[in-house]
Structure 1
Amino acid sequence: MLKHIIKIFKKDMKNVFKNPITTLIVTGVCILPSLYAWVNIKACWDPYGNAKNIPVAIVNEDNGINIMGKYINAGNKIVEKLKNNHKIGWKFVNSKNADMGIVDGTYYAIIKIPANFSKDLTSLTSPSPTKPEIEYKVNTKNSPVAIKITDSARNSLTDQIKSNFVYTVNESIFSSLNPIAKDIYSNKQSIINLKDSIIKLSDNIDIISNILSSINSNSNGLNSILKNIESTIPLSNSNISSIEDNNYSTNSSILSIQSEMNDSFSNIELNLETAKSDICRIQELIQTLNLSSSNSKHINVDITIDKIENEIDISYNRISRIINFLTKVNYVIKNVHISNFINSMKNIKNTLSSEKNKINNIKQQFDNTANINKSLLDSTANDIANLYNKLTDEIYDYNNNVKNNLNLLSNEMIESTKQASSLLELSKKFNTYGENSINTLLNGTQLTAQSSNKLNNRLYDFKNQINNLANKLKLTNNNDIIQILTILQDDPSLIGNFISNPFNIKEQNIYTISNFGSAMAPAYTTLAIWVGSIVLVAIFKTDADRFKGDENFTPKERYLGKMSTFIAFALTQGFVVAFGDRFLINVQMANTFLAIIVALISAFTFTVITYTLVSIFGNGGKAMSIILIITQIFGSGATYPIQLDPHIFQIIQPLLPFTYSVSGFREAIAGPLVSSVFIDFTFMILTSIFFIILGLFLKKPLQNKIYKIKTNLKKSGIGD
């Protein structure tokens, strides 16, 4: 039997290569189906890459609004932002031209920002908040794909609004919530009193200094008096009472100074921790940018870059405030730890500026080429990671060295005052303790003189800082509570940013496919292989020709012998299409060898099916092959998830060879899972065996009946 099958196969191959015309036709049949796959894959390679040519009209009718003394026009900000976004063909027109353009097909969509947009956007600060609306119109007649692109444009616009303007509104709202009170306006007088206290402290700082100098002088005088105790005790009591009165009057002022300085030192620590959180968010955004570029999500890239720039600016300004404050303190203190810390902060500030320049370069290159500079992005990610570690070290240095030196100042101030008061009180009881207390008092008054002198020097060191704060507060109006709080507390932008973006999405792709064309390659390649099998049975005869010496050949041998010829042509088709996918149009292939094997097994299976149907049922088999291809396109889940198709297709999907061929190509393109590949191969091979057995059993019984049908059809003049 095998000998007869091989003989038929050799006879067919000899006939093919003996005639040049036949050779040319066979070559064309082996290549032509591949063109179907290659053309379609290339056509859908990057459907969103030229979205900048899709015209979308932007109509801005926003009137803006004044909120808390600040004018906000969200519409203008949106337009300004979109003019730098070249991913969509934005057209900035008036309402009339936009409405005409959407009707006549000039624009695919309209995005209209209404007159009350800013008012509604900021209505959260009013008793009756209103959700703002943006009017979106789309011309559904022009192109279904264009509709999806314009939908993406709409979503991109709303993301920008949330990222940029909800942030601004929230920042304005939460500026009114500070450590002094939860309700700014109900505590307005407390805030004003605090302002007046700081100004009064600044105005009287020279008097306080003179009082401390007086304490020092009087303590030195008391030391001399004690040396002549017998003749000067009454005078010493009088001097002590005078000094004690002065010391008591300054104690409350010094406590106020200490409280303010301690708050400043704590705010530095808080700002450092917040800056560390900012750097962490920048790292997460860079990871998001990296994933967005690998998935060709062009619209998300600009938004992510803008967020990175915004976070860098916030960190830069926060570090600058710390440097400015400590520089003024160090100007009079001249502390080594503080000087080193300032230099470290300046290095961090310079690094932030450098990283922002890199991000700007990445953005410019992306706008020009639609590709992200991976090396520059990786360099930025590495620098930010190093910056995060550097900032962690500096926070540790501040808490263990710098802050201790700063706290020493305020602690010494109050401790010296307490010691002076205690010693002066003790001095008043001098006569009660007697002459044995003279040596103790001598030592105490000497300590009082030293402490008051040191306290006075420390106060002088912070004189400029207190005066600068007071000068800023003097320029504010008591009715402008927001401005007063802005001076008294840190920038509340962190809260505004948290509310506008309450969480970050960490996106991770499993089996990443680099472009849409590669994602569609399994469907188009499988379809091309099936089309190739139909072309074979449409052009070539499925019955073996008679030749000398075939008298003893059975119908089964003729069936298998001719099938071997068709399979040889089909395997050639499968190899050509898989090889071309990888090396001609550069479809992503995680495993090229596997892709070729899948193509060969698919070609074998599809050809066995179509050949068997046509060999047994003639033209009826050709019709069955067409019906099968139509059913499998929609029922295999090749283009859309099978869950979106009608329930009948979900039922038959596991029975269709298309399903397993597409699955096999997906494994080869995105990365193989051994169990899935095994199932795909097993089903296709079992399907081939089933149809071969079907042909062997039905070929002879139906041969005469099908022959009669073909004869009658030929006699009718409408068939062959």
Structure 2
Amino acid sequence: MNAARLALTELRRLTTSRLGKLAVVAMMLVPSLYGGFYLYANKDPYAALDRVPAAVVDEDAGTTLATGEKLAAGDEVARSLLDSGSFDWTRTDRAGAEQGIETGRYDFALIIPASFSADLASSADLEPRQATIELATNDANGYLSTTVANQLVKEVTTSVAEKVSTTAASQILAGFSTIHDRTTKAADGAAKLASGLDDATEGAGDLATGAHSLATGEQKLVDGTATFARGASDLDTGLQTLRNGTSDLPTRTKQLATGARQVADGNKEVASAGKEVAAASDRAVGDLTETRGRLATRLEAAGFSQDEIDRILAVADDVAEPLREANTRIQSTSTQLTQLSDGATKVADGASQLATAASQLKTGIAEAASGSGSLASGARTLQSGQQDALAGAKRLDTGAASLHTGLGTLADGAHELEKGLRDGLRSIPDPSPEQRKAVAQTLGNPIAVDTSSAASAADYGAGLAPFFMSLAIWIGAFVLTTRVRSHSTRAVAAGQPRLRIALGGWLAPAVLGVAQAVLAYLVIIAGVGISTAHPVLLLLFMGLISVTFTAIVNAVVMRFGLVGQFVALVLLVVQLISAGGTFPWQTLPEPLHPLHHVLPMSYAVDGIRRLMYGGSFVHLSLDIGVLLAYWAGAILLGTVAAARLGTWSASRVKPQVTAP
């Protein structure tokens, strides 16, 4: 008889009666009922928090900000809670809230005191006060309600703190904008001041240059006036001498005019005679030219050759050349005599005019000699005044240079002031209203959470499902030991091979366990609505978990009998606390960490998570390997137990622990 026949025999024994069949069906439903109902009840408890009764009390009196704006933060918090629908909020007074918590009408109450807004606004003072929100709870109404209420208060506190921080940041940024605007005006004013000082410096430079030029000019003028004074004195002396020397000038100029006229008349006669001589000379040269032409014609008529004619004419030209040169000199002399005559006439005319003006000149020289004395006196006075003007010009030159230097220093300072203001201006933010709002919101809530997950559970029920599905399969395997025998006594009595006895004892509960797993899978996935990323692989993995757990429980019971059921129950309890199904296993006490790494349910939970949520399959091979190793170990333990079953002892004949 093989292992399959042994398992089939056991299954027939279980289903021989109607009650037996019902018992088998009931055992198969145990994992589905346990896992299904628990996950159904806890699939998404947070979605029903709006049915939890809670009270909110607003005693806030409000306050007025420095800007004149009214602040009623308590009312805003109360209205936001009522509008959120996070709980079944009721707005009441303090007495009603406290009575409701005492009687269980409310699970908790949130009380906003009268100074709430004033305390929040004090963040702008040098002595700020911390605003307070009161939370009234009663653990007799439910401990988890208090835990959730504490979390809610943290969220409200964070939200209010964010708003206060945002408002404060907005006011600070608005102050920065005001500072920026005023600094801009100051920088513009400094730029205008620097520009004006540049112009003033340039003008002062021109003034200093002009003053220096004035001083230089005054020095030259002083030198000139000194020279002028000396010249005026010399002029006076000279004019006096001239007046004395020109006393008989009119008489002499008349004599000169008479002589010049006589010379002009003589030169005129000479010039007239010269013109006549020049005319005669010019006619002689003309006659000579006509005579040369006639001579050439006669010689040609007389039969002379051309060469002979040319030689004769050349000789004639040599003879006539002195006559031509004399004519040229006569013509030039005649012209010069004419010019001499004209010049003599002009001299005579000028002499006549000089004679006429000599009397006036004498009078003018006398007047000039008289005025030169006054001029010399005035020049000396001018020289004295120019000395004073030179001293003033030198003081103006020194003052203008100092002014130019001082204005230059002042302009440099104004430029440095402008540069400093411009540099400081770049360090002062000038956000727009939109930027102020964005920055204030960022400062009020500087951290945002960008969540990414390689795999995620859809809801609270999906988060618990891997643990309770594994737990349900173990419970199902444990329940099977109450009806399915761990081994076939006939096979033991017949001396069947030990491995066959072990496999035959495991195979029957394994078949029922797989049926339990399939049914639990359908109830949890389809009935409760837990989503899964890899449904087929998850079903196969749950089958592996079932055959492994049934092998372990069956081997323990096969080896220890009724005590083995207790051992299986202890293993269940130990795995409940070490599998890490609810909280991360790292949160367990340090002594329990080895249990997590050793016991099979840890790997069952891990494998279901990876197949249900999706993500990497890197650890899935380890999960499968560990479960297969446990299955092989359980079969080995069953084989050893089968060997012991073939040997009767006093403890087997009369066991210390028996079934009731």
TM range (shorter): 0.5 to 0.7
Is the 8 Å Cα contact of residues 28 and 476 (structure 2) preserved in structure 1?
A: yes
Shift of 1:28: 2.2
TM-score (norm 2): 0.58
Separation in 2 of the partners of 1:163 and 1:710?
77
2:583 to 627, 640, 643: 640
Shift of 1:108: 1.8
Aligned to 2:482: 538
Aligned to 1:475: none
Is the 8 Å Cα contact of residues 47 and 516 (structure 1) preserved in structure 2?
A: yes
Separation in 1 of the partners of 2:655 and 2:524?
44
Is the 8 Å Cα contact of residues 466 and 609 (structure 2) preserved in structure 1?
A: yes
Aligned to 2:312: none
Aligned to 1:40: 38
Separation in 1 of the partners of 2:113 and 2:173?
26
Separation in 2 of the partners of 1:173 and 1:72?
18
Shift of 1:712: 4.3
Report matched runs for 1:207-606 at 5 Å: 492-546=436-490, 551-606=494-549
Q: Deviations over 1:416-443 (max 9, x none)?
A: xxxxxxxxxxxxxxxxxxxxxxxxxxxx
Shift of 1:650: 1.2
Note if 1:690 corresponds to 2:630. no
Separation in 1 of the partners of 2:20 and 2:160?
66
Shift of 1:492: 4.1
CA gap of 1:664–1:572, structure 2 versus 1, over 3 A, is same
Separation in 1 of the partners of 2:39 and 2:632?
31
Q: Deviations over 1:625-653 (max 9, x none)?
A: 00000000011111111122211211211
Separation in 1 of the partners of 2:460 and 2:648?
49
Letter in 2 for 1:36: Y
Note if 1:657 corresponds to 2:655. no
Report matched runs for 1:707-718 at 5 Å: 708=651, 711-713=654-656
Separation in 2 of the partners of 1:581 and 1:541?
29
Note if 1:102 corresponds to 2:133. no
Shift of 1:665: 0.7
Aligned to 1:176: 175
CA gap of 1:519–1:633, structure 2 versus 1, over 3 A, is same
Aligned to 1:345: none
Shift of 1:23: 2.6
2:611 to 658, 668, 671: 668
Separation in 1 of the partners of 2:32 and 2:565?
21
Letter in 2 for 1:650: H
1:51 to 49, 52, 58: 49
Mean alpha-carbon deviation: is it higher for 158-167 or for 41-50? 158-167
Separation in 1 of the partners of 2:580 and 2:54?
33
Is the 8 Å Cα contact of residues 616 and 703 (structure 1) preserved in structure 2?
A: no
Note if 1:719 corresponds to 2:659. yes
Separation in 2 of the partners of 1:97 and 1:694?
66
Note if 1:84 corresponds to 2:83. yes
Tell me the SS of whatever aligns to 2:624. helix
Shift of 1:157: 1.8
Shift of 1:43: 0.8
Report matched runs for 1:607-646 at 5 Å: 607-646=550-589
Aligned to 1:7: 5
Aligned to 2:20: 22
2:61 to 40, 60, 63: 63
Letter in 2 for 1:61: E
In the alignment of these two chains, the number of paired residues is 414
Is the 8 Å Cα contact of residues 42 and 461 (structure 2) preserved in structure 1?
A: yes
Separation in 1 of the partners of 2:649 and 2:586?
40
Tell me the SS of whatever aligns to 1:48. helix
CA gap of 1:698–1:542, structure 2 versus 1, over 3 A, is closer
Mean alpha-carbon deviation: is it higher for 489-498 or for 148-157? 489-498
Is the 8 Å Cα contact of residues 165 and 444 (structure 2) preserved in structure 1?
A: yes
Letter in 2 for 1:534: F
Letter in 2 for 1:122: A
Shift of 1:169: 4.1
Tell me the SS of whatever aligns to 2:539. helix
Separation in 2 of the partners of 1:651 and 1:49?
37
Tell me the SS of whatever aligns to 1:107. coil
Shift of 1:180: 3.8
Separation in 2 of the partners of 1:81 and 1:7?
70
Q: Deviations over 1:247-281 (max 9, x none)?
A: xxxxx9xxxxxxxxxxxxxxxxxxxxxxxxxxxxx
Separation in 2 of the partners of 1:125 and 1:551?
94
Note if 1:75 corresponds to 2:107. no
CA gap of 1:492–1:675, structure 2 versus 1, over 3 A, is closer
Tell me the SS of whatever aligns to 2:56. strand
Tell me the SS of whatever aligns to 1:568. helix
Q: Which one has a bigger Cα radius of gyration?
A: 2
Is the 8 Å Cα contact of residues 487 and 504 (structure 2) preserved in structure 1?
A: no
Q: Deviations over 1:422-467 (max 9, x none)?
A: xxxxxxxxxxxxxxxxxxxxxxxxxxxxxxxxxxxxxxxxxxxxxx
Tell me the SS of whatever aligns to 1:24. helix
Is the 8 Å Cα contact of residues 562 and 659 (structure 2) preserved in structure 1?
A: no
Indicate the structure whose relative CO is greater, using CA pairs within 8 Å and at least 6 residues apart.
Answer: 2
Separation in 1 of the partners of 2:123 and 2:79?
24
Aligned to 2:283: none
Is the 8 Å Cα contact of residues 558 and 641 (structure 2) preserved in structure 1?
A: no
Letter in 1 for 2:598: L
Mean alpha-carbon deviation: is it higher for 599-608 or for 696-705? 696-705
Aligned to 2:293: none
Uncovered stretches (5+) of structure 2, i.e. residues with no partner? 182-195, 197-429
Is the 8 Å Cα contact of residues 464 and 582 (structure 2) preserved in structure 1?
A: yes
TM-score (norm 1): 0.54
Shift of 1:59: 1.8
Is the 8 Å Cα contact of residues 555 and 641 (structure 2) preserved in structure 1?
A: no
Tell me the SS of whatever aligns to 1:59. strand
CA gap of 1:146–1:707, structure 2 versus 1, over 3 A, is farther
Is the 8 Å Cα contact of residues 74 and 165 (structure 1) preserved in structure 2?
A: no
CA gap of 1:543–1:707, structure 2 versus 1, over 3 A, is farther
Is the 8 Å Cα contact of residues 590 and 671 (structure 1) preserved in structure 2?
A: yes
CA gap of 1:25–1:172, structure 2 versus 1, over 3 A, is same
Separation in 2 of the partners of 1:170 and 1:153?
25
CA gap of 1:34–1:85, structure 2 versus 1, over 3 A, is same
Is the 8 Å Cα contact of residues 56 and 89 (structure 2) preserved in structure 1?
A: yes
Separation in 2 of the partners of 1:680 and 1:164?
49
Separation in 2 of the partners of 1:151 and 1:683?
42
Shift of 1:662: 0.4
Separation in 1 of the partners of 2:41 and 2:560?
37
Shift of 1:506: 1.8
Letter in 1 for 2:564: G
Q: Please give the root-mean-square deviation of Cα atoms over the aligned residues, in Å.
A: 3.0
Letter in 1 for 2:52: I
Is the 8 Å Cα contact of residues 578 and 596 (structure 2) preserved in structure 1?
A: yes
Aligned to 1:158: 157
Separation in 1 of the partners of 2:5 and 2:177?
95
Aligned to 1:200: none
Separation in 2 of the partners of 1:706 and 1:561?
24
Letter in 1 for 2:572: I
Is the 8 Å Cα contact of residues 61 and 112 (structure 1) preserved in structure 2?
A: yes
Letter in 2 for 1:539: R
Aligned to 1:360: none
- Percent sequence identity is 21
Report matched runs for 1:122-133 at 5 Å: 122-133=121-132
Aligned to 1:479: none
Shift of 1:110: 2.2
CA gap of 1:503–1:153, structure 2 versus 1, over 3 A, is closer
Shift of 1:709: 5.2
